[in-house]
Structure 1
Amino acid sequence: MPTPQNAIGSGFGAASTAQDVIHGINLRGKNVVVTGGYSGIGLETVRVLRSAGAKIFVPARDMAKAEQALRDMPDVVVHGMDLLDPASIERFAERVLDTTDALHLLINNAGVMAPPLMRDGRGYESQFSANHLGHFQLTCRLWPALARSRDARVIALSSYGHRRGGIDFSDIHFERRPYDPWLAYAQSKTANALFAVALDSIGRHQGVRAFSVHPGAIITDLVRYMSREQLEAGQIIDKNGDPIIDPENNKKTIPQGASTTVWCATSPQLLGMGGVYCADCDIAEALPSDDSANLHGVRPRAIDPVAAGRLWQLSEQLTGASLD
């Protein structure tokens, strides 16, 4: 049965940190892949999961930056990969499959937010390509190891940015409509949430569960395409340029931002559950309409199983990847 999109009362909250939620969890013998695991909340996710004993693989578009960021964690395995380059995804997955039999956690954390219009080598819009299609292909390629674990979780980093818009199946790559970077971001974040819905419906029969996560609004490299004026207007930074921290209203530190990812990846409270959108270390509230003004919770567009199935089929066509 699908997991209800209702809070379970985890005991954690918006101000909880990744270190808080990992307390008492033992990940020795567990293999983990974290995309974007060398900066921002991805780096914090790696640090905390490693502290619980996990063996971690990190794909890196910028190897020098990754090696510098992870220099104090020499046991973390880093291989090159670019989410916009299907061939590099294949190579990374092959390296992981060659060195580990079972994969217990796949955390699709990397992403890009609101860049100018860019396209990958196939002509696909870059945010949809990197945030969704690259992770879709990676998940499909790592599927044999996920299925062999018989107890795996896949975490897709979504965002409350999905409130800005859903998926335009008639023009996903902005070939006919004017490009809007925030609408494209919203489309990719809706896709991340729908990906978890579809993957969980397929994978739960083989012990693979999937969750999507809203981490919060956090100052990381993700905001590099935003001006200082935009960050101030969005009340992300103050007039001095310092981050505004208000976790109850989505504005979090990096340790707080990584907490829901780590909770979804490791919490025994979620055993037997999956396919839900989570925030603030709990299952988020299902909002009544896509037009809701609430900045918390998840809109119907992001948890619709029909749209999830349609997106899954389209993603197979666009990438040539599948779980078969």
Structure 2
Amino acid sequence: MMLTPQAPIGSGFGASSTAAEVIKGIDLTGKIVMVTGGYAGIGLETVRAFRSAGAKVIVPARDMEKAKAALADMPDVLLDTMDLLNPASIDAFAERFLSQFDKLHILVNNAGIMAVPLTRDERGYESQFAANHLGHFQLTCRLWPALVRAEGARVVALSSFAHRRAGIDFNDLNFERREYDTWAAYGQSKTANALFAVALDSIGKSQGVRAFSVHPGGIATDLQRHLSQAQLNSLDMFDKSGKPIISPENNRKTPEQGAATSVWCATNPKLEGMGGVYCADCEIAIALPSDDSTEMHGIRPRATDQVAAGRLWQLSEQLTGVKLDLK
């Protein structure tokens, strides 16, 4: 199979499109869909869109009380406990899911943490890389049998244009020798999310599993809860009165607009037979010429590199002790 070109396809949607708009006319009746972190911010709007199209939606949640409150108006959404920083929790969740459901048609790896102080999981791995990448890597591998049985599943990995901040430092992944930089750690995890989709799609397309990574846009959500006021000011996301700036063409979106690219990648028929690409503004993003590019909307070579993707996949297997069952 040929690689899908990292180039726009003329989706008919754009930066200001909402999740409700891109799902219009899509029927997900009988489909099983999972959204990690689907109880806050863009995750909540992603769940709302899938549910409106008739899907059965499962939301694994670290904070069950918060999840129950957020999804109170959607009582048919199935909640279960899972913590991306706890490998045993991921395995237990996946086991419960597989005992109840035979197939998984759409998996949106949406949950994440951003710009947190240096913390490590129980294995000693830096928390942003562990939660944003390794936890989702493990979850996807554990759910693999259900994805294959769906005969046409799509996996969406939430990356970010923050991949511009850092590539993967294969020599010091967990900041054991270099000084910890919260934004470099976040950027590394977002580059990892994009490379994960490249590798997963390469492995999965022969079995009907396609993968995409997305940049949702800059959205004011709980993701910013760890930032200082100075850090928030540097992001230029809020006006002087503290209200979020909404300017979709300039990467400033509402949660409904932020969820749109995930929903588009997961459901749009124009993407049939495609995968392994990074998308933004409900479109396959342009490939930028260098990692040093200052362009906001495209993807840098470091996040599409096939060799780096394969290397990261093998390293992720080693770090988690988990592999895909490719029988």
Which TM-score applies when normalising by structure 1?
A: 0.99
Residue-by-residue CA offset, 1:99-152 (whole Å, 9 max, x unaligned): 111100000000000000000000000000000000000000000000011110
Deviation of 1:279 after TM superposition, in Å, equals 0.1
**Counterpart position of 1:107:** 108
Deviation of 1:233 after TM superposition, in Å, equals 2.8
Task: Report the 3-state secondary structure (helix = DSSP H, G, I; strand = E; otherwise coil) of the residue aligned with 1:124.
Answer: coil
Deviation of 1:230 after TM superposition, in Å, equals 2.4
Given that 1:194 and 1:303 are in contact with CA atoms closer than 8 Å, whether structure 2 keeps it comes out as yes
Report the residue type matching 2:236 in the other structure.
Q
Measure, in 1, the Cα distance between the counterparts of 2:106 and 2:128.
24
**Counterpart position of 2:300:** 299
Task: Report the 3-state secondary structure (helix = DSSP H, G, I; strand = E; otherwise coil) of the residue aligned with 2:315.
Answer: helix
**Counterpart position of 1:247:** 248
**Counterpart position of 1:127:** 128
Measure, in 2, the Cα distance between the counterparts of 1:182 and 1:166.
11
Report the residue type matching 1:33 in the other structure.
M
Deviation of 1:283 after TM superposition, in Å, equals 0.1
Measure, in 1, the Cα distance between the counterparts of 2:305 and 2:33.
28
Matching of residues 144-159 of structure 1 within 5 Å = 144-159=145-160
Residue-by-residue CA offset, 1:204-250 (whole Å, 9 max, x unaligned): 00000000000000000000111233222321001110001110011
Task: Report the 3-state secondary structure (helix = DSSP H, G, I; strand = E; otherwise coil) of the residue aligned with 1:287.
Answer: coil
Measure, in 2, the Cα distance between the counterparts of 1:223 and 1:62.
17
**Counterpart position of 2:212:** 211
Measure, in 2, the Cα distance between the counterparts of 1:236 and 1:229.
12
Report the residue type matching 1:295 in the other structure.
M
Measure, in 1, the Cα distance between the counterparts of 2:290 and 2:119.
31
Report the residue type matching 1:156 in the other structure.
A
**Counterpart position of 1:33:** 34
Q: Which moved more, 1:189-198 or 1:90-99?
A: 90-99
**Counterpart position of 1:42:** 43
Report the residue type matching 2:28 in the other structure.
L
Report the residue type matching 2:288 in the other structure.
L
Given that 1:232 and 1:238 are in contact with CA atoms closer than 8 Å, whether structure 2 keeps it comes out as no
Which TM-score applies when normalising by structure 2?
A: 0.98
The runs of 5 or more residues in structure 2 that have no matched partner are: none
Matching of residues 1-324 of structure 1 within 5 Å = 1-324=2-325
Task: Report the 3-state secondary structure (helix = DSSP H, G, I; strand = E; otherwise coil) of the residue aligned with 1:310.
Answer: helix
Measure, in 1, the Cα distance between the counterparts of 2:288 and 2:182.
25
Task: Report the 3-state secondary structure (helix = DSSP H, G, I; strand = E; otherwise coil) of the residue aligned with 1:283.
Answer: coil
- How many residue pairs get aligned? The number is 324
Deviation of 1:293 after TM superposition, in Å, equals 1.0
Report the residue type matching 2:174 in the other structure.
H
Residue-by-residue CA offset, 1:275-312 (whole Å, 9 max, x unaligned): 00000000000000000011110000000000000000
Task: Report the 3-state secondary structure (helix = DSSP H, G, I; strand = E; otherwise coil) of the residue aligned with 1:282.
Answer: coil
Measure, in 2, the Cα distance between the counterparts of 1:133 and 1:222.
18
Residue-by-residue CA offset, 1:56-92 (whole Å, 9 max, x unaligned): 1111111111111111111111110000000000011
Measure, in 2, the Cα distance between the counterparts of 1:194 and 1:67.
33
Given that 1:232 and 1:239 are in contact with CA atoms closer than 8 Å, whether structure 2 keeps it comes out as no
Task: Report the 3-state secondary structure (helix = DSSP H, G, I; strand = E; otherwise coil) of the residue aligned with 2:143.
Answer: helix
Measure, in 2, the Cα distance between the counterparts of 1:25 and 1:232.
39
The runs of 5 or more residues in structure 1 that have no matched partner are: none
Measure, in 2, the Cα distance between the counterparts of 1:125 and 1:233.
24
Residue-by-residue CA offset, 1:160-209 (whole Å, 9 max, x unaligned): 00001100000000000000000000000000000000000000000000
**Aligned alpha-carbon RMSD (Å):** 0.6
Given that 1:211 and 1:274 are in contact with CA atoms closer than 8 Å, whether structure 2 keeps it comes out as yes
